[in-house]
Homo-oligomer: A and B are copies of this chain.
Amino acid sequence: MGPGPSSVDPRVLEALAHPTLGHLDPAFLSLLDDLCSRLRRVYGTQNSLTLPMSGTGSLGMETCLVNLIEPGDRVLVGVNGVFGTRMCEVARRAGAEVSSVEAPWGNPLDLEDLRRALRQGPFKALCVVHAETSTGVLQDLAPLRSLADEGEALLVVDCVTSLGGLPVDLDARGIDASYSGTQKCLSCPPGLSPVSFSERAMSVVRRRRTPVQSWYTDLTLIGQYWGSERVYHHTAPINMLFALHAALCLVLEETLPVRFERHRRHALALAAGLEAMGLVLPVPKAARLPPLTLVSVPDGVDEAAVRRVLLSRHQLEIGGGLGRFAGVAWRIGLMGAGSTRDNVTLCLEALSEALREQGFHPEHDGALRAQAVLDAEESSRA
């Protein structure tokens, strides 16, 4: 229940341990085709260039930025946490002239701020984080396409902690390039980064004046292995791809609407339980991210000691804060296979116990409150 990696279903681990096949074995290649088609459904896209990069989420970020950016390009990045900050750094290293729109950590970006900045365009790209893993903040994607158009910008979105846990709908939202990770709401081990590029974004890549600075992430080359040509580029991470395929099967077997509703419901119950205990959730209600909840550490409580107790006594991992929230907040994940009623209860009970030992006495029983919320949710659906 940290900010990822999330719990992995035993069926995904079983697929991971399938005997390794060759990266040009026909049986493996047909699995890849099926994987991409499932990935498109989860991403909500028809984009032909939709595939998992052979590295973790940060390689996906780098892939999106280095394929689109040429030296001197102007790029606008929304920054309200670690991952927006990282996009600036990666874009700068790709030679971009980077501007940013900042929002306080724990809050979403302000649309008027974005609009004002975009009017200073044109920009090659507007880069936004959908689900800020460092703060548990959700950015509404709906207004971004028309905003990006005001700056004549491609729209690049980080979906690392949203893909598979809430709608990303690339095509409906007019997103040109997106990347994600396998170890969050897809509940697959870390190691791959699904990316998707619109036809418009790919035509920008094809029309570059300079080569992509990274050979390993050059999508014009990688697309030739994943496409019908099957031209060898690098050896695919076979077993991780077995696992991702199995994870995508489970996502689609559950169906996206049911999965998204599960993430929403358990996050709502967790938040209600935490607040019943008297804990403060710094993120405004409307911007809370279902897969990841930010909780302030009460005064006088040793946050690392609490995490150590949860881990050693309950085999329960929760995350510390990052950046401006380091030492003053926890991040509790309810992602993929980990988003369950039992986990909500376990976490609230274990946290109550650990907090009491640190001298913080919860106002109400958080686990009971969470269960009441879930019961109400379930009876309203019945």
Contacts and interface: CB of A to CB of B under 8 A. Distances in A.
Interface of A: 2, 4-5, 7-8, 13-14, 16-23, 25, 54-59, 62, 66, 86, 89-90, 92-94, 181, 183, 189-191, 211-216, 232-240, 243, 311, 317, 322
Interface centre among A14, A22, A59, A240 (most CB of B within 10 A): A22
| Identical copies in the complex | 2
A94 to B, nearest CB: 7
Nearest to A62: B216
Nearest to A14: B17
A234 B189 contact: no
A40 to B, nearest CB: 23
Given A5-B238, A232-B322, A237-B240, 20 more contacts: A4-B235, A5-B22, A5-B23, A7-B20, A13-B239, A20-B183, A20-B190, A22-B317, A54-B55, A54-B56, A55-B216, A56-B234, A57-B235, A59-B59, A66-B214, A93-B211, A93-B212, A189-B239, A190-B237, A240-B240
A90 B66 CA distance: 14
A190 B23 contact: yes
B235 A190 contact: yes
Nearest to A25: B317
A322 B235 CA distance: 14
Contacts of A54: 55-56, 59, 191
Given A20-B5, A25-B311, A62-B216, A235 B56 contact: yes
